[in-house]
Chains A and B, each alone.
Chain A
Amino acid sequence: MNAELVPIPHTWVLALSAVLFAIGTLGVMLRRNAIAIFLSLEVMLNSANLAFAAFAYRFAAAHVAAAAALDGQIFIFFVIAVAAAEATVGLALFIALYRLKETIDVDRFNILRW
């Protein structure tokens, strides 16, 4: 075996996923531009995908079960599909909002309060 080919431990991948998730969350919280919030949301979804992939990789390496290894990978496709649907609806919403207020600054949309 070649020393360069030592596999990356799955915990590293999980750590990356957590960092990406935190970055996405902060983006959702702090940005005011709706498109930026949307991008941050996509980062959060994909950090989840990364976690799925990490676990699939982990279970495959541990030879637990072939099905368990596949589950995580299949779930990623579900998430991608949901994210695509969400992008469609979200962007349509933003267009509608822009037509109403000529801006997509979310702080300007607070008419539904108390």
Chain B
Amino acid sequence: MKIKRKIIVKLSDKVLLIIFLFASGLLFTVQFVIGGSLAQIFVLSYIVYNFMFVMAYLVSYRFSKRITDLTFKIEAMAAGDISKRLRVAGYDEISQLTNAMNELMSRLQTGVAQDVSTHKELAQAKSDFVTLASHQLRTPLSIIKWYIDFFITGDAGKLTDGQLKYLKEVYKSNERLIELVNALLDVSRIDVGTFSIEPEPTDIIEKAKAAISKFKAEIYEKKINLELNFDELPKINLDPRLTQIVFENIFSNAVKYTPENGTIRFEIKKTVHDILIKISDTGCGIPREQQPKIFTKLFRADNVRRIESVGTGLGLYIAKAVIEKSGGKVWFQSPSLDLLLSPGKKDKGLPLDKRDQGTTFFITIPLKGMKKKYGTKKLTSLEH
């Protein structure tokens, strides 16, 4: 935005000019009426000018200064500190203006305060609702889980293979609901800011391996070629649960969207100040126009919706919140440069435009570890 700058003629200068003209006129009138030598008039005018100048300067300076002060303070308020009030002196127009300004600021401030507290109340209410709903949901979900388990384990008698297959589908769906409830709880804790980060000396490689092992079956089933490249690392201060949640949330996407015989590369490296984690996949990639939105709550890209209906759209949101609150960074690149430059097994030899686009997620965690964050709630979800 371009601001037009006008030449500002100070009020005091205007007053001086008026007084100068007025005094000159007065002196010439005096000379005309009573006569006198030019020298006398000159001396007299010299005295009068000086006197008038000083007087005028004093008067106009006072006004001018008050207005400049006022402007300065109002600018300061506009810049953010609306809790300040202007000092009112005297009973003239400037004082009236000052009073009016104070009144305006007071109203503005109460408005903003109401706004902030309404916002907080809303966030709290939202969180309370999610917590209550989640706990209420967990009871029937556990009951379903346990009773189906009676059939799956054979405790409730023998079923045919076909019956068992159906029940396992029910069980799987129920597990998805459980994960969704856990994720919702986590999101509400993130949104209200009540989740805690409790760093302790942690083997990050072990956490990565624990995350990977949760998806062993799927990796095997899809014959995914998993390339691990972990540096030797000392223990660093990390919240072990959160670290695993982040790894699982990002790694699960790689597993989910990498096609059969695809490649996933998982690297953990030490750089100067950070631990750099890279998770690359040869999945379908993220459409360019949707890339800005992928860390948004509940967002799922169009192309993955078509492939796979499972997914809460909460995983990346949780991962990003956790990493950023603990002092790290997370970002991604799609298509994945890494996999385009050195393709995995399946894509080797294929021309560039025939290969899967792939995505690489990058995470950095400072070498000095995660920042401690006090909170009343722990995150629970380990999303699949």
B partners with A: no
- Residues on B facing A (Cβ under 8 Å): none
- Residues on A facing B (Cβ under 8 Å): none
